[in-house]
Chains A and B, each alone.
Chain A
């Protein structure tokens, strides 16, 4: 019996061990990698029917190793059909026949060290340059397809791999071959413009072919075709010399033809989409800007209202523009943009006259009304502390204040409350101006520093102390003060001279008031401002006078 039990026990043990061996000892499949996502080149290798040619080229130019390592890349991958078309255009049968260095440059034009999905595509250049150094531009054609560099159509966007994005394209992208100067010269419609560039020396400026491996110095050129020049009566190079070149030497930087050419070249790389994104752009003409506005889809240059007169703008011919060159981009104008000589003239900048406030018709210049604004609500006013607010207010007709238009603009100016505030001015013509701060005396802002475009003005303004009531006119002006109101006997609304400023460009500028030392204790008090005057240095500083009803008395 015992033996029998033992036998059963042995069998049981055997069965258990056998089952355990069968099940337990099997090797478990453990995942040792954190992801099964492949990197860019491995992804391309997976689809040889689409990308075998591209992979072959990447391997040969030794780009595959780093493109398959970790990093952040964007790869525009031409398909095999794209390479077939490319080789056909060169008359070759295989990429083996091509020079390795040239192929390497070609590949680098397809790679960006950044992850860029189609969400970042605009009408202009991509945010980062290619490894070749040239920027790629994007766009959408009439069929709604995304176009890269005006050369290839994107066939599959946004393939996300372990180290970046792949965008499949149907043509090989070709680097720009010519400089801006050569591109203009090659196009017969720019024959007069080419001669102007050569005569003024800007042809050479626009002809510096940068190396791909050094930092590039990009330029943007706005070219005017012969037909455009014909509309303003210029039919030949001789005509344009006769019209502009007053010194007879176009290479002289003071010659108007030189300035004409300089005004058509902008430093930095600016595609049309970049041009519309900013209000003004510097040119190579000293201290001269081109201003930009957008009317519908038309980009207008230099459309400004100057002294109340609207000067119509010149449109960029969008379809003929955005031509990539090795050292920049070339645009085509549909009219002639000229540099205008403008004499400095006075600007009375009413701080309350902001576009957002103007729209509040029930408040703007309505007696007794006021409105506070928080940070970000006024696009042309910016201040240090987000929590601080500014107030636009209009006096009731019964007050004893003498604001121009009866309206003022108040804000805090105290180190701990709001250290500075800055305003974007209206258009100021370049020149030298005296800056007068016109305000209502209050318990704040005794030590205020004024700066224009970051240049500090010499005098510390005091928005607190009394004016000397016994003197007036030129004697008062000599002390740096003046009464600007029509009522010349009151001593609360007056102006203090902040200094003389050199306005370098005809543009909208930034004026900033900074508190450099706290005054008193009243943190809730605010500076109550009326307007800021920019008066040309040589003009009469005391007249005209400004009335509560908005009148200006000469």
Chain B
């Protein structure tokens, strides 16, 4: 009897212990974070997730290269405006020398796909909030979706411009079971998708978010139009491009910052000016990575000597006669430092903890020059295109010597002039290579000479002929990046671009 009692008590004690401790040590949910099943309940959570997508433009939580740096490298390394500095990496130098291999880390697209995944996550889960939060409307949801879809479109557009054919991942990866080994989708099909997202965004995005800061830092209808114009221009759909540009121009909400003494300060140093359409919002809490790239004693890049000699040119007689975009804005001519992102003004530099210059995705000047390029291609409107270029040049006090005065009827000459003006206007803003490639590939590489002339100036003299010949056969994707070798190893369905096989 005594024995039975003892057993009963023991069992009872065990039951207590078991009953209390179970929900502690069998707990599987993380205790320092929030899990998906508990997120996506309120509209505030949707908003923070969308803002999180924008935050990923500034820096990657997993320490990938920041997107602004990726865009700079992809847009400038292969072009003719930068020269290697002391601190340049071997990989970067290889790209300047047109010696890109699949092992080149610059060709790693991880940063971009990470942002795409954040967008995908919002697109997948935000609609479920409608069921939980009655104050969240379908219209609000669509506005958020417009933003992330446009952002995702922008990322895919960047990938197509850089790699041509890329895997199209449209579902979020939230667990191991979501991992997919996707093959490449052709660049044209990806662009069709990109247009579809942008058209959704176009009809759902807000006109304004209510204040300047968010209007420049988040996607609104005008940002979508700017993106559309860029995509249409790349796809050689000029009438559509013009329409998108006209929408922005006719809105009269943007303008060029006057080319006076406050120009650099307003446009570049402070940012979010009347000219900005979409800028990456670096601030004191989140600095950009450009200080170390352009300013320290081990700077990675300098401006090429050609930038001042041939692009902006110098008036040797009158030192007050100069292009405001050149000396003291894009370049510090005394040492050819790339000045745009690290300067306070002509003479002084930012402190390391003030390195928060914005990255400019689109500016109003871009809209004007995209329109000029489009209507010149439509044909018969060369002088109208030249007027737009003149507007940009007058603002910048461009030197007479850089105006070739092309015949308005000569489409190629006008296109060359617009391309050269874009180089001056958007120096080091990550656009140069794509501008060259877009002009060279037009009408099935009708103007391949643009690309070949550019590369003959950009590479070291003893590699010139090799570099030219590598670009001569565009059908093998030699003017697109290789897919990074790690991606090929991890995903057997990916096929390397033919030039790099």
A residues within 8 Å of B by Cβ? 118-119, 121-124, 138-144, 146, 158, 273-274, 276-277, 294, 296-297, 318, 356, 358-363, 366, 371, 373-374, 376-377
Contact = CB atoms under 8 A, between A and B. Distances in A.
A371 B101 CA distance: 42
Contacts of B334: 356, 360, 371, 373, 377
A140 B466 contact: yes
Contacts of B473: 142-144
B261 interface: no
Contacts of B469: 139-144
Contact of B472 (A144, A274, A296, A358): A144
The DSSP consensus for interface residues of chain A is: loop
Given A118-B99, A140-B470, A144-B473, A359 B308 contact: yes
A364 B317 CA distance: 10
A138 B466 contact: yes
B296 to A, nearest CB: 13
B101 A140 contact: no
15 contacts: A119-B90, A119-B101, A121-B99, A122-B466, A138-B466, A139-B465, A139-B466, A142-B473, A144-B469, A273-B463, A296-B456, A297-B465, A359-B309, A361-B316, A362-B320
Given A359-B314, A360-B333, A140 B308 contact: no
Given A144-B499, A276-B462, A297 B335 contact: no
A361 B476 contact: no
A340 B465 CA distance: 31
Nearest to A294: B461
Contacts, number: 90
Interface in B310-343: 314-320, 322, 327, 333-335
Q: Report which residue of A123, A158, A276, A360 has the largest number of chain B beta carbons within 10 angstroms of its beta carbon.
A: A123
B240 interface: no
B343 to A, nearest CB: 16
Given A119-B99, A142-B469, A359-B314, A366 B463 contact: no
A513 to B, nearest CB: 23
Contacts of A138: 466
Contact of B462 (A124, A146, A361): A124
A32 B417 CA distance: 66
Contact of B319 (A140, A362, A371): A362
Contacts of A146: 466
Nearest to B103: A158
B266 interface: no
A121 B466 CA distance: 9
B33 to A, nearest CB: 39
B314 A297 contact: no
A123 B99 contact: no
Nearest to A146: B466
Which residue, A119, A139, A274, A294, has most C-beta atoms of chain B within 10 A? A119
Nearest to A362: B319
A301 B316 CA distance: 28
A277 B461 contact: yes
Q: Which 9 A-B pairs have the closest CB atoms?
A: A273-B462, A361-B319, A140-B469, A362-B319, A276-B461, A140-B466, A144-B473, A123-B465, A122-B462
B274 interface: no
Nearest to A160: B103
Given A118-B99, A361-B315, A373-B334, A123 B472 contact: no
Q: Interface centre among B86, B90, B453, B462, by most A CB within 10 Å?
A: B462
Interface of B: 86, 90, 94, 97, 99, 101, 308-309, 314-320, 322, 327, 333-335, 453, 456-457, 461-473, 476, 478, 499
Contacts of B314: 359, 361
Contacts of B322: 361
B435 to A, nearest CB: 21
Contact of A158 (B101, B316, B457, B467): B101
B462 A144 contact: no
Contacts of B316: 358, 361
Given A141-B469, A144-B499, A297 B464 contact: yes
Nearest to A299: B461
A143 B216 CA distance: 45
A374 B335 contact: yes
Contacts of A377: 334-335
Q: Which of A140, A141, A358, A374 has the most chain B CB within a 10 Å cutoff?
A: A140
A54 B476 CA distance: 30
A123 B464 contact: yes
Contacts of A277: 461-462
B280 to A, nearest CB: 31
B94 A119 contact: yes
Interface centre among B327, B334, B463, B473 (most CB of A within 10 A): B334
Given A144-B478, A274-B462, A297 B99 contact: no
B181 to A, nearest CB: 25
A371 B335 CA distance: 11
Nearest to A117: B101
The interface centre, meaning the residue of A118, A141, A359 with most chain B CB atoms within 10 A of its CB, is: A359
A159 B86 CA distance: 30
B319 A144 contact: no
A20 B379 CA distance: 87
A359 B333 contact: yes
Contacts of A274: 462
A122 B463 contact: yes
A297 B499 contact: no
Contacts of B333: 359-360
A297 B308 contact: no
Contact of B476 (A122, A144, A363, A371): A144
Contacts of A360: 333-334
Nearest to B328: A362
A142 B471 CA distance: 9
Nearest to A143: B473
A140 B461 CA distance: 14
Contacts of B463: 122-123, 273
A119 B461 CA distance: 15
Contacts of A119: 90, 94, 97, 99, 101
Contacts of A362: 319-320, 327
A276 B462 CA distance: 7
A112 B335 CA distance: 40
Contacts of B97: 119
A505 to B, nearest CB: 22
A277 B459 CA distance: 12
Nearest to B499: A144
A294 B472 CA distance: 21
A122 B462 CA distance: 6
A273 B99 CA distance: 16
Nearest to B94: A119
Contacts of A124: 462
Contact of A318 (B101, B465, B470): B465
Contacts of A359: 308-309, 314, 333
A359 B308 CA distance: 8
Contacts of B86: 376
B175 to A, nearest CB: 34
Contact of B101 (A118, A143, A374): A118
Given A361-B316, A373-B334, A123 B456 contact: no
B338 to A, nearest CB: 15
A549 to B, nearest CB: 16
A98 to B, nearest CB: 33
A141 B476 CA distance: 14
Nearest to B308: A359
Given A118-B99, A373-B334, 16 more contacts: A119-B90, A119-B101, A140-B465, A140-B466, A140-B469, A140-B470, A144-B472, A144-B499, A146-B466, A274-B462, A277-B462, A359-B308, A361-B317, A361-B322, A366-B319, A377-B335
Contacts of A318: 465
Nearest to B309: A359
A75 B189 CA distance: 42
A277 B457 CA distance: 14
A359 B312 CA distance: 12
